[in-house]
Amino acid sequence: MATVRITWLNRLLRRLLKRGRGEVRAMEEALHLESVLRFAGLFGATILFPTALLTWFGLSSVTAGPELVATDVQREATVTADTFWAQAERRFSSFEQRVHTRLEAGRSPIESPRELHPQLLVALSFDLEGNLRAPFIEEADVELDLGFHPAQLEAQRAERAGENPLLVAQKYARAATLVPSAAARGRAIFDEARMLARSSRSAEVGAKLKLVEDRFRGLRDPWGFRLKDLARLELARLTLARDPVAGNDALRSLVENLLAERWVVGQGGESAIARHALSLARVGDGADWVSATRERVAERSAALYWATKLLPEVDQVSRAGAGIRVADGDLLWRSGTRALWVAVNWDGRRYEFGLDQEAIVAELKSDARASAVADADVVAWLLGPGESPPRQTLATKSLAPWLGGWQVVVAVRDPEALAQTRRSERNRRLLIIAVAVLMIGFGTMSTVWLVKRELDVARMQTAFAANVSHELRSPITHIRIQGESLMYGLADTEAEREEAYVSIVRESERLSRLVDNVLDFAAIEQGAKRYTMRDLDIVDTVLRAVDSISSAQEVMDKELDVELPADLPEVAHDADAIAQCVINLVSNAAKYSDPNGWIGLRGRLVEGGVEITISDKGIGIAPHDLRRLFDPFFRSRDALARRRKGTGIGLTITRYIMRAHGGEVQVASRPGHGSTFTLRFPVEPGV
C-alpha cells in the first residue's frame, strides 16, 4: 500500500514539476521532494503530533493541578476528621463496653467506678421511681440542735479550760439530763465517757459508750457524726491502748462496716470517721490492707462529694430526658452543666454515671489538635453548642450521641498559603509545559537544521564529485590533445612541439595537484594524514611553491608580486604540505581575480610568529560566506563566484595543515575589492 501511494505521489509531483523544467529535471526534483515529504510525514507523526498531544494534555492539567491540590487538602481534612472521630469513638465505646460487661456478668456497675472510666466522678443507682439506692442514700432533713444548752456549753468551757476530767464528766452527765433533744443527750453521754476515760474510769466508760451505740445509733450530733460511729471509734481507741491486736481488729471492723453501709448524701461523718480510724491503726502486718482501704475510703469520699454536688443536676437531666424511651441495656448520653451523664436501665434499676465533662472536653480538644500533623494544611477544632465554625471549613463530624451539640471541625490552616500553593502548582505545571515545549521546539529546530545541513553536505558532495570530474576532465583532455598532436606529427615546427611538451607538463602538474588534494582530503577525513616537521627556511618553501604554480594556466596571465624578507627565522614545518597551502591560496586568488589581475605575497615577522599573506584584488567574498568558507565542499552561493571552477576542498585542506602545524589561516575580504589570506606560523621565543 505504501509503495503504491509513493508511486502515485511521485507521478503527481512529476506532472506538477514538468512544466518549464523538462522530463529529466522534473524527475530529479520529484525524487527529492518525495524524500522531503516522506521525512516531513515521519517528522509530523513522531514529533509534531506527540508534541501537540503532550501540550494539550499539559494545558488540561494546568487547570486540574490546583484542583488536585484542593482535592488533596479535602482528603486530608476528611482523614483528619475520621481519625479524630475514631479516637473519640474508642474513648466512649470502651466505657459502654465495660458497663455492659458488668451488667451481663451480674456485677454491680457502680462498684470501683474508676475502673470504668478515669474521668468518672460518680456512679449512682436509682429505682424506677427515681429514688437513690446506692452507693449513697438521701435522708430527710433533720433539724440539729446547734444552739447548745447552757449546761452543755458550761461543760465544754470546763474541758477547754483543762479542769479535772472527772469534774468535767460530771458536768456532761448533768447536761445529758437537761438537754431537750435525744441527739444532744447522746452527744453529752459520749462526751461524759470521754472524760471518764481520761480519769481512768474504764469500767464506766465502756458502759457509757455501749449505751450511746445502742440507744442513739441512728442519731447525729450537731457536727454530723453518727453517735454509734463515734462510740465505736472511741471503744476501738481505748482497746488499742490495752491490746493493740484487738484494737486494730476493732478499727478494721469499724472501717469495713462503714464502707459496707450506704453513706448519706450531704453528710461527711462516715468518711471522717473512716479516715481517722485508719490513721489510728497500727500498720504492722496489715500494711497492704491499710493502703488499699485508704484508697477505697478516698474513692468513696470523692464519690460522696460529687454525689452531693451533682445530685440536683442528675435530677434535672433526668426530668429533661423523661420522654426518651430506651431499651434495657442501651446507654443514653446527656450533657449536664458540670457532668456528662450516662443512663442505663437494667433489671429494674436505673444507673447514672456522671463523667467529668470539662476534663473529657479538654482531652477531646487535645485529640483534635493532635489529629492533624504539625505541617499539615488543615487544623481541627472541637466546637461546642452554639459555636460558629471557622472560615473555609472542609469537614465536620458530630460527637452525637455522646456529646450532643459538640462537633469536630476541620478547616484550612492558612487559606492564603493554600491559595499560594495552588498558584504555585499552576505556575509549576505551566513552567514544565513551557520547558518541555521549548526543548521539543529546540530539538525540532536542531533536527531540521541537522537534516538540512546533511542535505547540504550531500548536495555539496554531489557537486564535489561533479566538479572533480570536470576538473579532471579538463587537464586529461588537454594532455590527450597535445599527446595526439605529437603522436600524429601535427606539430610541424620545433616551437609547436616545444609548446605541446610544456602544455603536457603543465596540465600534468595541474592534474597532479588536483589528485593530491583529493587524496590528502581523503586522508584527512580518515585521520590518517601525518606531517614531518623540520626547522626550514619558510621563504624558500614559499618561493618553491610560487615557482611551481607560476606556470599554471590560471596564473600565467596574473601579476605575481612577491616580497619576502630574507631574514625571516626558520619555522618548523613540512615543506610539501606548506607548499600545497601556498599553491591552493595562489590558485584561488588567480581563479577569483580578473584577467591580468594582481596577486601579492608578503612575509613578515610578528610577535610570537611569522605571517605569510596572499592577497588579490578580485571579486572578494560575501560576508555571509566567510563563516563557512573553510567547510568541506563549500562553494559560495554568489553567482559570480560559482562560475569559477573548483572542488571546495582546497581551503579545508589548508586549514587542516595549518592547525597541524600549530598555526592558523585567517581571511579578510571585501566584496569587489579582493581578499587576503594569512598563514600564521608559531616561532619559539628567542629564535
**Which tens digits make up the pLDDT trace of 92-136?**
899 889 999 988 888 888 888 888 888 888 888 888 787 888 888
- Mean pLDDT, to the nearest integer, of 81-87? 86
pLDDT value at residue 115? 85
- Cα 586–chain centre separation: 69
pLDDT value at residue 687? 46
DSSP-derived pairing of the beta strands 393-398 and 407-412: antiparallel
Give the gyration radius of the chain's Cα atoms: 61
User: Per mean pLDDT, which of 55-59, 201-205, 467-471 is the most reliable?
Assistant: 201-205
pLDDT value at residue 678? 93
pLDDT value at residue 2? 37
- Mean pLDDT, to the nearest integer, of 638-658? 70
- Mean pLDDT, to the nearest integer, of 195-207? 81
Residues 6+ apart with CB under 8 A from 643: none
* Of residues 122, 118, 117, 88, the one with CA closest to residue 102: 117
pLDDT tens profile 250-307: 888 998 998 888 888 888 888 898 899 888 887 665 678 888 888 888 888 888 888 8
- Angle 634-638-641 (CA atoms, 0-180°, nearest 5)? 75
Scan for cell 563563516, then name that residue: 627
Residue 384, number of CB atoms within 10 A of its CB: 13
pLDDT over 90, % of the chain: 3
Q: What share of the chain is helix, strand, coil (3-state, %, to 5)?
A: 60, 15, 25
| pLDDT band, residue 409 (cuts 50/70/90) | confident
Average pLDDT, the chain: 78
| CATH architecture of the domain with residue range 530-682 | 2-Layer Sandwich (3.30)
- Angle 70-72-77 (CA atoms, 0-180°, nearest 5)? 95
pLDDT value at residue 6? 44
| CA distances from residue 313 to 122, 334, 354, 395 in whole angstroms, order as listed | 12, 11, 10, 34
Residues 6+ apart with CB under 8 A from 380: 80, 81, 84, 368, 369, 371, 372, 408, 409, 410
| CATH architecture of the domain with residue range 136-140+149-320 | Alpha Horseshoe (1.25)
pLDDT tens profile 486-536: 777 766 777 777 776 766 776 676 666 666 666 666 666 666 678 888 888
pLDDT over 70, % of the chain: 73
pLDDT value at residue 679? 92
3-state secondary structure 156-178: HHHHHCCCCHHHHHHHHHHHHHH
| pLDDT band, residue 31 (cuts 50/70/90) | low
pLDDT value at residue 314? 83
pLDDT value at residue 110? 85
pLDDT value at residue 64? 52
DSSP-derived pairing of the beta strands 263-264 and 136-137: parallel
Contact between 238 and 197 (Cβ < 8 Å)? yes
The answer, yes or no, to whether residue 34 has pLDDT greater than 70, is no
The identity of residue 235, as a single letter, is L
pLDDT value at residue 11? 67
The pTM of the full predicted model, rounded to 2 decimals, is 0.55
The answer, yes or no, to whether residue 3 has pLDDT greater than 50, is no
Residues 6+ apart with CB under 8 A from 479: 503, 504, 507, 508, 511
pLDDT value at residue 369? 81
**Where in the chain are the domains?**
136-140+149-320, 530-682
- Mean pLDDT, to the nearest integer, of 40-61? 68
3-state secondary structure 615-681: EECCCCCCHHHHCCCCCCCCCCCCHHHHCCCCCCCHHHHHHHHHHHCCCEEEEEEECCCEEEEEEEE
DSSP 3-state of 687: coil
pLDDT tens profile 643-652: 556 566 778 8
pLDDT value at residue 4? 37
pLDDT tens profile 147-175: 578 888 888 898 888 888 888 888 888 98
